[in-house]
Amino acid sequence: MNFLGLPDYISDTTQFLQELKRAKPQLEAEQRAGRALLWDRPLDREFWRQAQAARVPQKPYVYQTEPTLS
């Protein structure tokens, strides 16, 4: 209970997630393992430098067509 004497509100989504975590305690570890497959990887700093150096500057208005000489 909070200081107003009202019961604490718990949304349906929060209740669902709490029940899911109680039913599957290994779920969070599985999510972390899945994330590590694609996202948690060491950076190749040399590749990053090369990619930054190879960038082409964007034109101020990307939808502007080049004038044609007719």
50's tokens: 């090369």
Who's near 69: CB < 8 A, 6+ residues apart? none
Percent of the chain with pLDDT over 90: 53
What is the domain partition of the chain in residue ranges?
12-53
Can you give the pLDDT at residue 42? 86
DSSP readout, 18-65?
Answer: HHHHHH-TTHHHHHHHHHHHHTS----HHHHHHHHHTPPPPPSSTTPP
The pTM score is 0.48
Q: Tens digit of pLDDT for each residue in 12-47?
A: 999 999 999 999 999 999 999 999 888 888 889 999
